[in-house]
Amino acid sequence: MTMLDTHVSLAHGNGGRYMRELIHEIFARHLANPLLDTNSDAAILPWDAGAGELVFTTDSFTVQPIEFPGGNIGSLAVHGTTNDLAVAGAIPKYLSLGVLLEEGLEFAVLERVVAGIAAAAAEIGVIVAAGDTKVVRRGEGGGIYLNTSGIGVKDPRLKLGMDGIRDCDALLVSGPVGDHGIAVMLAREQFGLRGDLKSDAASVLGLTRALAAVPGLRFMRDPTRGGLATVTHEISQVTGLGILLDEAAVPVRDSVRSVCEMLGYDPYFLACEGRVVAVTSPGDASAALEAMRALPDGRDAAIIGHLRAQPARVVLRTEIGGERVIEELEDDPLPRIC
């Protein structure tokens, strides 16, 4: 019996195996219902939305530092929640905003956070329709925590899900991975490192709308906590298929790769906040790639691998021609970054 068996640890929030077990064995067991799909980022609601389906999601955000190159916890919350709707095939419409403030937070910081929320919401065209604020004593919080819930509308003709993924399907990513994780770490000035890398935190709505027009689109996900590696493990576990990634094809910035090599991190496990991982039929992979590359935030998109029947695990084909198994995330690779 270990601490992980009896108490909540940071590893239970990193997007890896312990988090999956926590969600399945406690939350899903108690809250089981036809709408609760723990393999999806948003639920389709059985309410009349005219010609569309209502899609609902919720998320919470804690990041240190509160402000980082490329955004802050406010813009991150809007992008994170609306991105979950977007990869489910929906157009975001409304958000709720729950704010937990710690005594002693500077109002100047709070102003910038709320301004970030407003700017991101305006850019996407989503309305913050409801909210709540609480304050905890000094030392009982991380300055500010946010919870956001989102509602969007989806075209019912667009069918997405892991149950549609097949052997030989193609795996794509819309841009370089690991930017957000390394940008936040550098903003902390840990390990004596500094840099000018910006977080990739942004809306993926343009990318998902472009991909939705591709007939062979099977599935989309934004690789946040646990990064690309965790998304691929989720796909493999649900479908029973293996995934072969091509190291030479996966886009990683040189600056991200350098920091990872110095500190022993794997960029495939680092959070992204403005990327899309997509699965398409083999024959439609090129069309999906072209659709993403036609957009400014998708110009570095790539076909990075494919599904295969056996073995049912995630394998990376290295640039020198070898193969290594990418194990599922267990430890927390970085302090909380989303």
Q: What is the CATH number of the domain that holds 47?
A: 3.30.1330.10
* Domain with 291 in it: 162-325
Last residue of a domain, one of 154, 173, 196: 154
Residue 277 included in any domain: yes
Shared domain check, 285 and 234: yes
- Domain annotation covers residue 311: yes
- In the chain the first and final C-alpha atoms are separated, in Å, by 30
In a domain, 16, yes or no: no
- pLDDT tens, residue by residue, 8-25: 676 776 678 887 787 888
For residue 256, what is the domain's CATH number?
3.90.650.10
- Output 27 or 231, whichever has higher pLDDT: 231
Q: Quick one: pLDDT at residue 309? A: 92
Decide if 330 is inside a domain.
no
Residue 109's SS3 state is helix
Give pairs for 41-46: CB < 8 Å, separation 24+: 41/84, 41/85, 41/87, 41/88, 41/221, 41/222, 42/84, 42/85, 42/88, 42/90, 42/150, 42/152, 44/88, 44/154
Final residue of a domain: which of 108, 138, 154?
Answer: 154
| Residue 4 domain-assigned (yes or no) | no
Say yes or no: 133 and 218 in one domain: no
Cβ(132)–Cβ(47) under 8 Å?
Answer: no
Residue 120 half-sphere exposure, CB side, CA atoms within 13 Å?
30
Highest averaged pLDDT of the listed ranges 52-66, 75-89, 130-144: 75-89
Report the share of the chain in percent with pLDDT over 90: 63
| Assigned domain for 13 exists | no
Q: In this structure, are 237 and 140 located in the same domain?
A: no
What DSSP string describes 253-266? -HHHHHHHHHHT--
Percentage of the residues of the chain whose pLDDT score is greater than 70? 91
Residues 123 and 170 in one domain: no
* Residue 93 sits in the same domain as residue 189: no
DSSP 23-50: IIIIIHHHH--TT--TTSSSEEEEEEET
Gyration radius of the chain's alpha carbons: 19
Picking from 154, 172, 187, the residue at the C-terminal end of a domain is: 154
Based on the structure, what is the number of domains in the chain?
Answer: 2
Distance CA(42)–CA(20), nearest Å, equals 16
The whole-number average pLDDT for the span 300-311 is 94
Mean pLDDT for the stretch of residues 131-160: 91
Mean pLDDT along residues 91-104? 91
Residues 166, 150 share a domain:
no
pLDDT at 141: 84
One domain for residues 195 and 150: no
Same domain for 166 and 137? no
Residue 55 confidence class, pLDDT cut points 50, 70, 90: very high
Residue 126, SS3 per DSSP: coil
Count CA atoms closer than 13 A to 272's CA, side-chain side: 29
pLDDT score at 77: 96
**Cα dihedral sign for 198, 203, 206, 211?**
positive
Q: Is 265 in the same domain as 281?
A: yes
pLDDT confidence tier of residue 321, bands split at 50, 70 and 90: confident
Q: Are 128 and 95 in contact (CB under 8 A)?
A: yes
Q: What is the pLDDT of residues 36-47, one digit of tens each?
A: 777 777 777 777
Residue 45 shares a structural domain with residue 189: no
Is residue 293 situated within a structural domain? yes
Distance CA(256)–CA(260), nearest Å, equals: 6
Residue appearing with tokens 């930017």 = 179
The dihedrals phi and psi of 37, each to the nearest 5 degrees, come to: -110, 105
The predicted pLDDT at position 1 comes to 42
Based on the fold, state whether residues 200 and 229 are members of the same structural domain.
Answer: yes
H/E element holding 129?
strand 127-136
Whether 333 is covered by a domain: the verdict is no
pLDDT at 7: 72
* Same-domain check for residues 141 and 248: no
Distance separating alpha carbons of residues 315 and 179, to the nearest angstrom = 22
Q: Render pLDDT for 112-138 as a digit per residue (tens, 0 to 9).
A: 999 999 999 999 999 998 888 888 888
The mean pLDDT value for 211-230 works out to 95
